[in-house]
Amino acid sequence: MKVRAIGCSLLVSTLFAVGCGSVAAEKGHDDVARIVAARSGYRTRWEKGPPADRDVERWVGELLGSGLTRRSAVEIALVNNPSLRITYEDLGVSQADLVQAGLVSNPTIAGSVGFPLGRGETEWEGSLTESFLDVFLLPLRKKIAKERFLVATLRVAHETLATATETRKAFAAYQAATRLVELRRTIVEATRISADLAERQHDAGNIDDYSLTQELAAREQAELELEREELGRATARESLNRLLGLVGPRTAWRLAESLPEIPSTDPPLHDLENVAVLERLDVSAARKEMILFGNAVDLAKDARYFGLVEVGIHAHQDPDGARLLGPTLSLELPLFDQRQALIARLEAEYRQTRHRLEKVAVQARSEVREAVANLSMARHAVERFKARLLPLRDRGVEQAQLLYNGMQLGLPQLLLAKQAQASAYREYIETVRDYWSARADLEMAVGGRFTRSRNAEVDRQKDEGQ
């Protein structure tokens, strides 16, 4: 009798242990932080779970304190971007599902009491039951939920890297817009000086009305172009503010870095398609999701002939006899519903995940090729601007100015030379911006910094927890 009591106690303890679970705030966030740091070099600051609003405010203030750099902009976005914060919370939802999958369903208590209408004893009965099938399928359920949680982790990490990429591109766009405004202001100042000089020369009778009109029109045109450039910079700034999640006085940040020149060389660009298929987090997530639905199909097939199975104990007080206590067993007979509809649905969803993996892999390869082409073209254009076109435009303006000073060239021709020079410098700045944008796209296309270790398979397995 003592042995039986010990056995029942162990059974109850085991069910209680497997049926209980807790939610850890940092779970998943620590993995996302590790993946993002390894692939981009940036911190999420969510490695311990959702941070307090006051901590986010303090971090953002510290990062803005000495002016905005590309690095501080990305770090602000990773902790404060509104859309990304919503995405981060997907880990909390997925972890709750993971914990729920590890819980045994609660036992059911039922009972009834019968009171005699005349003479006689009160009759009562009660039962305690638990779903045996629920306990039997618990390990498989936990395995599927763990894989689903891993898929969610990979997807959140992918979205985090995407936000970092968009922030880098927006920051480069604002840097370029700032340089364009500076260039245009220089042109405006030159046209103002030239127009003032023309007015004095006209008053002195040294130039005719036509020449004065051309100078004044050039000044007005330059000022209009400056207003357009300033609007473009304001638009670029607000795009960056949205990515950083900044409002109020914090939108008045100052820029601490100008648009950098492109590096002398790029890392090797060969074999990046295969690297992308191995390393990209969205490809890894699609691959894990396909495995997940494959396991779900197997689980459904294994349980197709098992209906609801409940075991428990039943107590009964017969008014004319002794109290009765004994086990109970309740079986659902799967005569009509043998999970055939569920299995068909899961099989279709499994095929969808397989096709989705193929789609993501094809898209990854295409994005790599496109980004490589854009990066190569931007580098070629920047180098050609610096080596050939800009020097030619500068020399053209110098020569036109000398001819104009010697009255061998008219004012319209001089203005055309200066406009061509300004256009060349404007296109050069835009091409440098395009280079940095293409580089950010390429790093995202291959799953992170393509300057890091090429041991893609090992890195992928670490990210997927294999």
DSSP annotation string for 417-465: HHHHHHHHHHHHHHHHHHHHHHHHHHHHHTTS-TTS-S-HHHHHHHHTT
**270: phi then psi, degrees, rounded to nearest 5:** -90, 155
- The span from the CA of 241 to the CA of 368, in Å, is 28
Tell me how far CA of residue 62 lies from CA of 74, 112, 135, 165, 170, in angstroms: 14, 66, 51, 22, 21
Residue 147: pLDDT over 80: yes
Question: Which range among 41-45, 92-96, 359-363 shows the weakest confidence by mean pLDDT?
Answer: 92-96
Residue 372: pLDDT over 90: yes
Q: Given pLDDT bands bounded at 50, 70 and 90, which one contains residue 450? A: low
- The span from the CA of 452 to the CA of 268, in Å, is 11
Whole-number pLDDT of residue 125: 77
Mean pLDDT of the chain: 83
Q: Please check whether residue 42 is in contact with residue 78, taking contact to mean a CB–CB distance below 8 angstroms.
A: yes
Q: Given pLDDT bands bounded at 50, 70 and 90, which one contains residue 309? A: low
pTM value?
A: 0.81
Q: Which of 4, 27, 6, 196 is nearest to 99 (CA)?
A: 27
Whole-number pLDDT of residue 69: 95
- The span from the CA of 226 to the CA of 181, in Å, is 7
- Spatial strand order of the sheet with 123-131 comes to 108-114, 123-131, 309-317, 323-331
- The span from the CA of 345 to the CA of 343, in Å, is 5
Percent of the chain with pLDDT over 90: 41
Residue 139: pLDDT over 80: no
Residues 6+ apart with CB under 8 A from 358: none
- The span from the CA of 413 to the CA of 238, in Å, is 39
Question: Which range among 183-187, 316-320, 383-387 shows the weakest confidence by mean pLDDT?
Answer: 316-320
Question: Which range among 243-247, 334-338, 396-400 shows the weakest confidence by mean pLDDT?
Answer: 334-338
Neighbouring C-beta atoms of residue 109, cutoff 10 Å: 10
Whole-number pLDDT of residue 177: 96
Task: Please list the residues that pair with 327 across neighbouring strands.
Answer: 313
Whole-number pLDDT of residue 329: 61
More confident residue, 201 or 63: 63
Neighbouring C-beta atoms of residue 226, cutoff 10 Å: 20
Residue 14: pLDDT over 60: no
Task: Please list the residues that pair with 325 across neighbouring strands.
Answer: 315
Q: Which of 186, 94, 189 is nearest to 144 (CA)?
A: 94
- The span from the CA of 379 to the CA of 440, in Å, is 14
Which residue type sits at 188? V
Residue 156: pLDDT over 90: yes
Residue 248: pLDDT over 60: yes
- The span from the CA of 168 to the CA of 316, in Å, is 73
Whole-number pLDDT of residue 359: 92
Q: Given pLDDT bands bounded at 50, 70 and 90, which one contains residue 311? A: low
Q: Is 439 exposed, middle or buried (0-12, 13-18, 19+ CB in 10 A)?
A: buried
Question: Which range among 20-24, 90-94, 313-317 shows the weakest confidence by mean pLDDT?
Answer: 20-24
Task: Calculate helix-pair angle for 209-244, 138-203, nearest 10 degrees.
Answer: 160
